[in-house]
Structure 1
Amino acid sequence: MRYRVRHITEYTYGAPVSLCYNMAHLLARDTQNQRCIHHKIQINPPPVYQNEGEDYFGNQTFYFSIQEAHKKLVIDVTTDFEITPLNPLEWQQQNTTSCGQLRSLLASPDTPELRMAKEFLLDSPQICRSADLKAYADSTFADDKPLLQAALAFTHKIFTEFKFDPTTTTVATPLEQVLKQRSGVCQDFAHLAIGCLRSVGIPARYMSGYLETLPPPGQEKLVGADASHAWFAIFIPEMGWVEFDPTNDVMPNEQHIVTAWGRDYSDVTPLQGVIFEGGGSQQLAVSVDVRRL
């Protein structure tokens, strides 16, 4: 299946910005079943410097600086890529490791993959392990439970016990509050799952990207109505990193497009940087369109 993603980010400032430096995670990366074919980046005002690169986690990035006064900044990124569907039945047949066995392997890691996975057991800027998070996940990830089945059950647990409500959280809402109020958005659910998993000794990483949404039967799809999305992945020795989406209670496949992964949202923020002046206020507008070619 071939897709085209167009992601438009627009900042409007209260006063002219005289200078800005930015880094973006807006380019889809290659994965086990995803291949980037072509991308185009348009920035207005035109940057005086622009360069593409790769971050610590292997995510595709681009840097740019604008050195002329501007009250509006527009970043328009279009990416064409191809996704090969995965077979969920093969995943279940491949998984033989139990939760207890993985914890034992991580205690004395003897492969590069296990040693790298241990990094995703540590606290990160937005996710800290805790006794409350451990208590919420402990029974699901008992030593004798197969990892894949436990992760599927935990994904379903979050899906059924939490309510999707964008009015109850912000990007800074603590995980303990999300756990207590049982509501939030995809980023909250991904962070919550990762915090719980790390608290019970299972390596987990944050996945950032897009989710193709389909209109009701007989209705046209609205341009820009798709969305940025977040989910999580766990490390299973014989399978590698396997993804789960607690917002939709699914294992991501051909409708999930990966742009980046890291320890949490702070590692893969779509756009981050520094501006000089700007009046102390800004408005952000984002439009995402995922289209099958």
Structure 2
Amino acid sequence: MKYQLKHLTEYVYQHPVANSYNLACLTPSNLSYQRVLSTQLAIYPAGTEISQYADYFGNIRHFIHLQPPHQQLSVISHATLEMLPRHNAERLSSGCTEAQLHTFLQQSKTSAAVYGKLLCQPSRMAPFCPEAAALLPPLRRPGQTLLQLAEQLNQYIYANFIYTPGFTTVVTPLSDVIKYQRGVCQDFALLAISCLRANGIPARYVSGYLETQPLPGQPRLQGADASHAWFAVFDPEFGWVDFDPTNNLLPCQQHLTVAFGRDYADVVPLKGLVQGSGSHQLKVAVDVIRCE
């Protein structure tokens, strides 16, 4: 299954600005279930300096510097991806138990174990929260695998939290999400991550896109898609396995991955600063188009 991605971020400034510095995390990487056929990052106005590097998590980053005065900055990411089946549902009943995971993390000195230990630690947007930690114990069952436990958490968040666009922002604390049981995909991913890490289970934040379909009889609107977020759990046998609590799914071919991190702050699509004053307007438009 092939997809074409387009992600536009556009800033329009009230007054001319200069020395615009931005860091983009918009380019997908090759993964076992995702083949990157082509990518392009277009910057307007022309003359922008761009450099590329890979961060600690393996994400492709672009550093963008536009020095001359300008009143508009557009960053457009294009990509063509081939998505392969993941077969994650078949893994739920196998793999390690929670106790076996803890033994692996304590005894193994492999890079996978070191990476897993890092992602057991709290982060700014996914802190250790007693209310989040308390969600997991009631979901444990005798003979349960680690992935079955993660699926139970996935289902719990979907069933008990209401998807409410606009209720939260990127600075809303996790405690408010738990108190009001409302949020969006980013909040639900961070809630699961906080819960798992507080119980000694490595979890990471995943950013990407989800193919959406218009209602029957309705045209597909250009730019109407959006970024999406979910979480992944580390199993020593299978590696990282993804879960989507917003939709109660195990991500499959319709989930297109861009980046991994400790939380959203590690994978912000575009962030930066400029030299100047005045307000600005921001436009974001995303298209996820199936090619075949």
Which TM class, normalised by the smaller chain length? over 0.9
Determine the C-alpha separation between the residues in 2 that align with 1:75 and 1:144. 50
**Other-structure match for 1:181:** 180
TM-score when normalising by structure 2: 0.95
SS of 1:26's equivalent?
A: strand
Determine the C-alpha separation between the residues in 1 that align with 2:87 and 2:142. 26
Alpha-carbon deviation of 1:21?
1.1
Instruction: Report 1:135-284 matches (<5 A).
Output: 135-141=134-140, 144-279=143-278, 281-284=279-282
SS of 2:105's equivalent?
A: helix
Alpha-carbon deviation of 1:81?
1.1
Amino acid at match of 2:27: L
Determine the C-alpha separation between the residues in 2 that align with 1:50 and 1:111. 35
Amino acid at match of 1:286: V
Amino acid at match of 1:285: K
Determine the C-alpha separation between the residues in 1 that align with 2:121 and 2:68. 41
SS of 1:139's equivalent?
A: helix
Alpha-carbon deviation of 1:92?
3.0
Amino acid at match of 1:196: C
Alpha-carbon deviation of 1:46?
1.8
Alpha-carbon deviation of 1:141?
4.2
8 Å Cα contact 2:119-2:204 kept in structure 1? yes
* Structure 1: runs of 5+ lacking an equivalent: none
Alpha-carbon deviation of 1:164?
0.6
Determine the C-alpha separation between the residues in 2 that align with 1:38 and 1:65. 23
8 Å Cα contact 1:141-1:200 kept in structure 2? no
What percent of counterpart residues are identical?
A: 42
**Other-structure match for 2:18:** 18
Structure 1 residues 158, 22: CA separation in 2 closer, same or farther (over 3 Å shift)?
Answer: same
Q: What RMSD over aligned residues (CA atoms) do the two structures have, in Å?
A: 1.5
8 Å Cα contact 1:100-1:142 kept in structure 2? no
Deviations 1:7-38 (A, max 9, x none): 01111122211111111001111111101111
Determine the C-alpha separation between the residues in 1 that align with 2:142 and 2:261. 26
Alpha-carbon deviation of 1:142?
6.1
Alpha-carbon deviation of 1:266?
0.5
SS of 1:150's equivalent?
A: helix
Matched, 1:45 2:24: no
8 Å Cα contact 1:48-1:66 kept in structure 2? yes
Matched, 1:60 2:60: yes
Structure 1 runs of 4+ aligned residues shifted over 4 Å read 141-144
Determine the C-alpha separation between the residues in 1 that align with 2:59 and 2:47. 22
8 Å Cα contact 1:211-1:255 kept in structure 2? yes
Deviations 1:18-71 (A, max 9, x none): 111111001111111101111122111124311222111110111111011111
Determine the C-alpha separation between the residues in 2 that align with 1:187 and 1:218. 30
Determine the C-alpha separation between the residues in 2 that align with 1:235 and 1:36. 24
Determine the C-alpha separation between the residues in 2 that align with 1:72 and 1:96. 51
Determine the C-alpha separation between the residues in 2 that align with 1:223 and 1:242. 31
Corresponding residue pairs, total: 291
**Other-structure match for 1:7:** 7
Amino acid at match of 2:78: T
8 Å Cα contact 2:89-2:250 kept in structure 1? no
Determine the C-alpha separation between the residues in 2 that align with 1:46 and 1:152. 47
**Other-structure match for 1:29:** 29
Determine the C-alpha separation between the residues in 2 that align with 1:110 and 1:41. 38
8 Å Cα contact 2:104-2:236 kept in structure 1? no
8 Å Cα contact 1:18-1:276 kept in structure 2? yes
**Other-structure match for 1:133:** 132
Deviations 1:112-143 (A, max 9, x none): 21222110001112111122221122222468
8 Å Cα contact 2:226-2:286 kept in structure 1? yes
**Other-structure match for 1:286:** 284
Alpha-carbon deviation of 1:144?
4.6
8 Å Cα contact 1:98-1:143 kept in structure 2? no
Alpha-carbon deviation of 1:248?
0.4
Amino acid at match of 1:287: A
* Structure 2: runs of 5+ lacking an equivalent: none
Determine the C-alpha separation between the residues in 2 that align with 1:108 and 1:144. 22
Determine the C-alpha separation between the residues in 2 that align with 1:90 and 1:246. 18
Alpha-carbon deviation of 1:109?
2.7
Deviations 1:125-173 (A, max 9, x none): 2111122221122222468521111111110100010001122211011
8 Å Cα contact 2:10-2:73 kept in structure 1? yes
